[in-house]
Amino acid sequence: MDFSLDTRKIIHVDMDAFYASVEQHDHPELKGKPLAVGGGHRGVVAAASYEARKFGVRSAMSSKLAIQKCPHLIFVPPRFARYKEISKQIRAIFYEYTDLVEPLSLDEAYLDVTENKKGIESANSIAKEIRQKIFEQTGLTASAGISVNKFLAKVASDINKPNGQKTIHPERVEKFLENLPVEKFYGVGKVTANKMFTHGIFKGKDLKNKTLTQLTQLFGKSGAYFYNVVRGIHHSEVKPNRIQKSVAVERTFSEDLADDQQINEKIEILSKELHQRLQKNTVSGRCLTLKVKYKDFTVFTRSLTKEEYFTSTEEYFSVAKKLWELRPLDKAVRLLGLSLSHLSTEEKNPKSIQLKIPFEEF
């Protein structure tokens, strides 16, 4: 049984351990071995193979901790040009079926296939075809989730990973969500999950028993989100032209920086890189943010928003230096980053109209 005609058909496609899988595909001698992309002496893991994940290695983990968990872990440097090349191939496959493609990153995207170019009724069949084509053209596997909105499709794509897919039919949404552990809900991290546990919320049915007022009191603005999604309500439509929110550059240093002159030199270099990236993307912005990560991994950020757009390297550098002077602590610095938000692209584009799905009528 497939979707009825009055519902949306949304697919979430998620590549399996994308960066690591690309490296294992391009270097067959790495297949079957615990692998981390990134890392190095003082870096962090950008991606981990499934073999490495069995040892507890995860993305964003320090290379030092990753080695402790998996002493025979193999580190390889990232090759973003290669990942972008393959991502472009994958997206071309998506567009064979629909123009309503919303990329979330190089390795995942939402597709609205309610009305698709091939006239295929079954969204499940479309997902299978897409995954098969990805494998044939790239040698990589992908997982997919299929349902009536983005939230459900995202949750579903994680259920049969790697190299699998899951469909949540409209008539099974309520039961599925009631039995789903809250930590599996997209948007519920470890901290939120632990807070839910302390209030007796372990599964969707427990979450559903809480009133909107109770959830708002416990989780603030997120309370309304949890109240809706546990009932299968998620109004966000697939947006084929996602508006870029920010442009950022950052660097992790081989040795901690403690001298102001060194810091200023690095900020100047980052300012130049940020300006080049903005020019490449033909975009400008009004809010500059300085990010500082100390040697103990604590993070400090400060921002300044202007009425007019930033226009030059000198402006970024001047403002970033002032933001650096606002730091609350004098500690050795591990990482520096600059980002620009409130972009011209974001402010020129009107907000899209959200599609509302009346789940109660199913």
Catalytic residues: 108
C-alpha to C-alpha distance for 164 and 224, rounded to whole angstroms: 31
Residue 198: Cβ within 10 Å count:
8
| Nearest residue to 133 (alpha-carbon basis) of 88, 84, 94, 82 | 94
Q: With contact defined as beta carbons under 8 Å apart, do 320 and 250 qualify?
A: no
Q: Is 134 helix (H, G, I), strand (E, B) or coil?
A: helix
Please name the residues in contact with 257: beta carbons below 8 A apart, sequence gap of 6 or more: 263, 266, 332, 333, 336
* Residue found under tokens 């000198």: 314
C-alpha to C-alpha distance for 80 and 70, rounded to whole angstroms: 25
Q: Is 171 exposed, middle or buried (0-12, 13-18, 19+ CB in 10 A)?
A: exposed
DSSP E strands, the chain: 10-15, 35-38, 45-48, 74-76, 101-105, 108-112, 142-147, 165-167, 246-257, 285-294, 299-305, 333-343
Give the orientation angle of helix 190-198 with respect to helix 212-219, to 10 degrees: 130
Please name the residues in contact with 185: beta carbons below 8 A apart, sequence gap of 6 or more: 155, 204, 207, 226, 229, 230
Residue 73: Cβ within 10 Å count:
22
C-alpha to C-alpha distance for 89 and 60, rounded to whole angstroms: 26
C-alpha to C-alpha distance for 166 and 84, rounded to whole angstroms: 27
